[in-house]
Amino acid sequence: MARLALLSVSNKTGLIDLARSLVEEFNFDLISSGGTAKAIKDAGIPVTKVSDYTGSPEILGGRVKTLHPRIHGGILARKDFPQDLTDLENNQIRPIDLVVVNLYPFEETIAKPGVSLPEAIEQIDIGGPAMLRAASKNFAHLTVLCDPAQYDEYLQELRQNNGEASLEFRQKSALKGFLHTASYDQAIASYLIAAQNDASALPQQYSLAGKQVQSLRYGENPHQSAAWYETGSTSTGWAAASKLQGKELSYNNLVDLEAARRIITEFTDTPAAAILKHTNPCGVALGDTIKEAYEKAFNADAVSAFGGIVALNRPIDEATASELTKTFLECVVAPGCEGDAQAILAAKSKVRVLILPDLNSGPKETVKAIAGGFLVQASDDIIADTSQWKVATERQPSDSELAELLFAWKVCKHVKSNAIVVSRDRATLGVGAGQMNRVGSAKIALEQAGDLAKGAFLASDGFFPFDDTVRAAADAGITGIVQPGGSLRDQDSIKAANELGLVMVLTGVRHFLH
């Protein structure tokens, strides 16, 4: 007697070739529903509609098609249980040997602009996940396929094993089925959470689901295994970036690239360049052209720029490409690259050049693992608003000085705390990152700036508990300071700034980055 295969797919890639091989090469009977049955029939391949097989018509506008004992009995029957076989015989149910199911495109639907909640709800598959879960549970007795990429491997299994899929393959396929339904349910839950009125509140339950993009050679160090995962069924962010050239991306590359993406999105109106090492910016600058911005960022700390990650907020042109090839860089990311520029960059074939058209598309939350769980927080995506800043000193900043303070503040937001940034002419001069005390970070930034600190500006990601950083800045020639304020000793710092003739602006917002 011919074996029975159930095919019900939303993604019809590879469907006809699979169906034809099942029938002509391996003597399967096919049952199918809806559009899948029509596609198979139109290809001239014999198929029985599910409604004809069950004797029950599709109802509720197609909401109920495969939810029937003849379907789920055939999927869940254990072929080595006499009672199960008796139940099949008594109810005229054929055991199903293969289940091929993938689900309604929920994530693709909600990604479209203007989709309403009722429209999204109709793309929540019910019968598909039920069949996938049932078939995955019973992998000891049948095979389940939920991805067209599995079809050829399954057919090879049949060819190499006298028409049978190995238990190892069936178990591996069952795992993929459960992962598929788990990811699908997570996408629905995330959508409904976002649809709640209080979108800012984090949910009581938070699940992570991802599909492996690639296995990485190692993690932060060679003894650590690592892999890259993307969330959702549609590639976004770095998974959607195109790599024009260069070696495979490493774990550290991706971590640095994300830090670079975050900082460059602070600047949209003017060409901007950022060079990072170990997630901290060593040079950030604005310019009239993207070439000028890159040159200023590079010259801010040419020593640290060697082997760095470069982020540009404008497409790479020929002039900028020529500058990029003058030193060793790990990665370059930009929203585009001109043809002549690409030819120039090809001379440095090992440099990874990525095109990410939507640099602003980032996660809404950040997740960090801790022992026994993980932490979730909303992304620090608050937009600086100088109209809300408070000038705390007698000396008032000019419009130009306020713009410089804003530039330094935006950069400081993306430096590991304790963070100090010194800038002038919309370019960083010194960056102090991750020190155990704020004076230590200030010392590093001011020493790096050197004589250029005279007339420059300083930003601090946190308030000053003492006036020592203010006095160190004044000694170096700093003109103005921007900091959050909020210390019990704010007046000490403000008094020192007044005494030394500095501008001091309080933002009311801090930007710790751990």
Q: Which residues are catalytic?
A: 137, 278
Instruction: Answer whether 441's CB lies under 8 Å from 461's CB.
Output: no
Would you state the structure tokens that stand for residue 149, as one six-digit string? 């990429």
Which residues, in sequence order, are bridge partners of residue 226?
Answer: 216
Place of tokens 């994530």: 107
Q: What is the C-alpha separation between 277 and 259, in angstroms, rounded?
A: 10
Q: What is the C-alpha separation between 215 and 251, in angstroms, rounded?
A: 10
User: How many other CB atoms are found less than 10 A from the CB of residue 362?
Assistant: 15
Instruction: Answer whether 440's CB lies under 8 Å from 418's CB.
Output: yes
Residues 6+ apart with CB under 8 A from 258: 238
Would you give the distance in Å from CA 448 to the centre of its chain? 34
Q: Which helix (H) or strand (E) holds 19?
A: helix 15-24
Checking phi first, is residue 472 left (phi over 0); if not, alpha (psi -120 to 50) or beta? alpha
Backbone phi, then psi, for 42, in 5-degree steps? Answer: -65, -25
Which residues, in sequence order, are bridge partners of residue 391?
Answer: 505
Whats the size of the chain, residue-wise?
514
Among 507, 498, 502, 499, which residue's Cα sits nearest to residue 476? Answer: 502
